[in-house]
Amino acid sequence: MVRTPLCDLLGIDHPIVQGGMAWVSTPELVVAVSEAGALGILGAGNAPPDLVQAQVRQIKAGTDRPFGVNVPLISPYIPDIVDICVRERVPVVTTGAGSPSQYIPSLKEGGAFVMPVVASVALARRLERAGADAVIAEGSESGGHIGDVSTLPLVPQVVDAVKIPVVAAGGFADGRGLVAALALGAVGVQMGTRFIATTECAVHENYKRMIVRAGDRATITTGHSLGHPVRALRNPMTRKFEEMELEGLTEDQLIEFGTGKLRLAAVEGDMTTGSFMAGQCCGLVKDTVPVAELIQRIISEAEELLHRLPDYLPSGYYVAPSADSRSPSVGKRGHTR
């Protein structure tokens, strides 16, 4: 077992959060992840409120364990989705692609643990002041909409800037990543891409196959001219989008071209015109496995690594927690213990 304060805060066994992905993290995946002792998160995406409500009820029928709903702030149905989270007493709400400040009070009144995804120190600070219970610091290695700071520098800067717990996201796909996140001061990791290649994920087989075959340089970011960069697997669709941006097409034309392309990827498996959002860690994903097996594998790998790491210390030395117990410093063995 690898237990952190996140496990107690959320009532889960393993400090792993499955990222809420539009069209990808549907109730089947969420139930499997939560039943396996991690936190499954429904991706509300741009789905209409009726569908989100039905999906939340499907999750509740499938598991008694904690789960979450991800609310991307670019959805046209935000107020209604927030109401559903409150009415259905969704245990955990994550947000993305914007600031959820104005919705935090009602979500918390509804009993939710509110854990927004942030891509900067400034937003993490603002949301702590607005009452967020934790933040997910997401580096630009992630798939989908991204910020412009990489995970390695972002996570410890957010950890230093706020008092609430920080979950690390962006580039994590295995036990090595989990240990690295803990070393940066995070209380757990969020993984998105890794969960696409699981038996229970309901996306088209082509999506899973593309992730498993992808290498380290398989993704590209587009949408910089719109101010909302998106990371996805390189394919004819992303190449066309890139060309259109270079040709200087208008914002409306680009948005029109991009609309509906994630559904084409996830549901139809259309490798030419679909937008297969994925993070740079796709190169680490080598197989499609059942969720329970994946989580066990990540935890075993992390445990083994945590046992091995002290071997790197010269004998007689140990890592003592510093005054604020966040950034470790090296001291003489027996000095404080």
Residue 230, strand partner residues: 145, 222
Q: How far is the CB of 84 from ligand TUI (least distance, A)?
A: 17
Please, which residue, 74 or 152, has the CB nearer to ligand TUI? 74
- Residue closer to ligand TUI by CB (options 22, 38) is 22
109-130 core/surface letters (b: 16 or more CB in 10 A; e: else) = ebebbbbbbbbbbebbeebbeb
Instruction: Compute CA distances 62 → 28, 32, 90, 320, whole Å.
Output: 8, 9, 14, 44
Q: Which is nearer to ligand TUI, 279 or 283 (CB)?
A: 279
Residue (92 or 299) nearer to ligand TUI, CB: 92
Q: Nearer Cβ to ligand TUI, position 259 or 327?
A: 259
Please state, in angstroms and rounded to a whole number, the distance separating the CA atoms of residues 210 and 278.
10
Cα separations (Å) of 65 from 11, 28, 31, 227, 263?
Answer: 8, 14, 8, 38, 28
What span, in angstroms and rounded, lies between the C-alpha atoms of 203 and 223? 24
Least Cβ distance, residue 192 to ligand TUI (angstroms): 8
CB of 115 to ligand TUI, least distance (A): 11
95: three-class secondary structure by DSSP:
strand
* Amino acid at residue number 66: P
CB of 22 to ligand TUI, least distance (A): 4
- Closer Cβ to ligand TUI, 97 or 284, answer by number: 97
Minimum CB distance to ligand TUI, residue 182 (Å):
21
Shortest Cβ contact with ligand TUI: which residue?
A: 96
Residue 120 beta carbon to ligand TUI: minimum distance, rounded to whole angstroms: 7
The residue ranges of DSSP E strands in 2-44, in sequence order, are 16-18, 40-43
Residue among 112, 6, 3, 9 nearest 68 (CA): 112
Rg (Cα) of the chain, in Å, rounded? 20
Query: Which residues of this protein are in contact with ligand TUI, per CB under 6 A?
Result: 22, 45-46, 72, 74, 96-99, 117-119, 123, 138, 144-147, 262
